[in-house]
Amino acid sequence: MPSEAYVIHVGVLESNLSGSGFEGLQIIKELDCRVTFFTRDLDRYLEVPGGPAYFDDYVDEIVHCETNILEELLPHVHAAGADHPFDAFLTLAEYDVVVAAEVAVLLGLPTVSVNGVAVARNKALMRRRCAEVGVPMPAFRTVRTPAEAESAAAEIGLPCVVKPADETSSADVRLVETAAQAGEHVRLIRTRVENTRGQSRYHELMVEEYLSGPEVSVEVLADGDRYEVFGVTDKSVGGLGYFVELGHTFPSSLPGPTVRACGELAVDALRGVGFDLGMAHVEIKVTGSGPKLIEINPRPAGGKITYLVDRALGIRSLELVTRQYLGQPLPARVLPEHPVGGTAIRYLTAQPGRVESISGQERAAALPGVEEVVLKPKPGDEIRELRRNGDRAGHVLVVAETAQLAARTAEAAAKEISIRTVPVTRRPVADSLVELIGGTPLLRLPVDRIVDGAPADTSVLAKLELFNPWSSSKDRAALSMLRGAEERGLLGPVGGTVIEATSGNTGISLAALAAARGYRCVIVLPDNATQERVAILGSLGAEVVATPHAGGYQAAVDKAEEIHRETPGSWFCRQHDNPDNARAHYESTGPEIWADTDGLIDVFVCGVGTGGTLSGAGRYLRERNPSVRLVAVEPAGSPLLSGGEPGTHCIPGFNGGFIAPTTDQELIDEVIAVSDSDALDTTRRLALHAGLMVGVSAGAVVHASGVVAGRPEYRGKRVVTLLPDTGERYLSLLGRAAEQVTAGAADSGGAR
């Protein structure tokens, strides 16, 4: 880090992750300023290519703190400025403009109007304010619910645009073709109670008229009532209705009168909202009836637009802004009489899938005027469907004598680059059912319709293990334990016998695998096991041995042990103390959850029978992110993890009157005990309101997930749970009133 002997002290509150963000840090530092950077998440900057170098070279001090809440940020600001008071305080990110302005006001420093940026940031307020002063814009409605969105779409006309009021970079912006799609997109947005930067969402969402015509942006520098229009940038968008920006060219090729009209509209809009200091990026559609306002971004243009404008004009706009915030007056003339050149950027895209090869970079870089060729993916990486700016695969940037030449060269350079992908799919033909174990999907649950009191914007994702070949998560554990036995020579290649004490899913999975491998299978179970499970075991060729249910699970274990001793070449699975049980979930379930959520998981809610799923998947998730909260779910009738006594319950799959050695209790952050009635009721609601036929233990974990997601501290957090199996093998249980079972009985599910 540079030394601390700088007189001018600038505080920077967060930054965007490219373009004007990192370049802004460099420019501030080059003005001989001491830079203190405030952030709540430094890792996201350091993960960007080149990010660590920017912070090493251009930041003197990094302060880790809460940056979204003024009251929590201020003590850190005062501490950082105690020895060297701040001469300027600003942000290089749109999400933080309001808080940064509030801090500057409290420090007595030059800044933009707090009310001005607050209105500009909130698209609903911005629309209303600009409508009051007569700024041309599309028809719009503000909505709060899916039903309101459907009505608004019908009023405005289709297609129309649905978007949040508090995002940027095209996040969650969608062109919809029907009123039903409008309602569904609002429902999706409402499940995310925080925006991309972890800030509480605005209550209103936008439904807007879709305008045809070229889209442009106008870059404007405000200084009190003085507004300098730097120019108009041509823009191209794609992404099948998601408005992803794919190209920019500066200056615009539109006719002079149209360019001037766009500039005048941008200034009128900024005056209307009260934006009065620094750079603003105003997006406009040029329609048949003239320019119309799309959005105001109260900050310098993101991505590379600021760089394009600066190179074409021969200026450093971020230096001008920094000097404004330091209280220095703008020069009488900030722009050259004519542009010194033209610039263009074209973003690279590829078909969704896994990258197989990339070629053509060298040819693209060799074209005259090409300054940058940047590729984000590498072979083996997966490219997502193009839905937001972050899904782009890279870019080429060109500086030339004219904008037209720059645009042609950028198009040619982009065409030189080939990113070949292959679809990411399951094998169309499997050689055995074993190959189909795992890879189960996540489903977003409408928890507010299933669990009383759960808010409508709750985000609960459920991993559906019924998609395994034998319809349960125990397929994973059974295969892992069976392979472990084979690897250790406990089962011979032919003629071996698999023995287990269980009445549930583990027995079914073992019976199926044994049949496929040519093993004999003996399943010992209490005589009160449900008729569906007994029938399934028999159909898979397993020999079923019944023990008196009064003896509970221990009686079944004792009988299985006896059969094992008397049967040469047999293997007794003992799932409750078999380490291969948890290993299955560490090696498959946990990684699948992490990959399918892109690592965005805050809470994992998991039922505990043997504890294999919680211990294996939970350990993997905790290793990837130590802050993931692990919540164990157990029966209220036998709350052993909560420190209670064994008792009766009717939740198959949960504890059989003891805590299994395979349960890693050190991982557990919280235990939720669910009553039989809540588990059964939620199971029935899952069928009635989500079309999901799942077991009673799934009902229990969904109930617990709804309880967790409904707590204020978990608003905006992502909760993931796992639904262990299908409900078809529990129809006889679901069809009758809840019956109590003795703790330790296999029908209580602990040995499942």
Asked if 299 and 91 count as a contact pair (C-beta separation under 8 A), the reply is yes
Instruction: Name the residue among 253, 224, 269, 363 with its Cα closest to residue 312.
Output: 253
DSSP, collapsed to helix, strand or coil, labels residue 423 as coil
E strand or H helix at 670: strand 670-674
Q: Which amino acid is at 301?
A: A
Strands 290-297 and 442-444 turn out to be unpaired
Instruction: Sort 407 into a burial class: Cβ within 10 Å, 0-12 / 13-18 / 19+.
Output: buried
Alpha-carbon Rg for the chain, nearest whole angstrom, is 31
The Cα-based distances of 286 to 147, 157, 231, 420 in angstroms read 31, 19, 15, 35
Catalytic residue set = 474, 697
Helix, strand, coil percentages, rounded to 5, for the chain? 40, 25, 35
Q: How far apart are the first and last CA of the chain?
A: 58
E strand or H helix at 644: none
How many CA atoms lie less than 13 Å away from 399 in the CB half-sphere?
15
For 687-743, what is the HEC assignment? Answer: HHHHCCCECHHHHHHHHHHHHHHCCHHHCCCEEEEEECEECHHHHHHHCCCCCCCCC
For 581-617, what is the HEC assignment? Answer: HHHHHHHHHHHHHHHHCCCCCCEEEEECCCCHHHHHH
- Which pair of tokens denotes residue 87? 């001469």
Neighbours of 209 (CB within 10 A): 16
Residue with tokens 């070229």, as numbered in its chain: 214
> How far, in Å, CA of 485 to CA of 481, rounded?
6
> How far, in Å, CA of 594 to CA of 565, rounded?
42
| Spacing of C-alpha 209 from chain mean position | 28
- Which pair of tokens denotes residue 274? 């009260």
Beta-bridge partner residues of 88:
10
E strand or H helix at 88: strand 88-92
Q: What is the DSSP string of 103-141?
A: HHHHHT-----HHHHHHHHSHHHHHHHHHHTT-----EE
Instruction: Name the residue among 470, 519, 335, 309 with its Cα closest to residue 397.
Output: 309
Q: Which amino acid is at 629?
A: R
| Sequence-separated (6 or more) residues with CB below 8 Å from residue 740 | 637, 648, 649, 650, 676
Asked if 508 and 470 count as a contact pair (C-beta separation under 8 A), the reply is yes
DSSP, collapsed to helix, strand or coil, labels residue 257 as helix
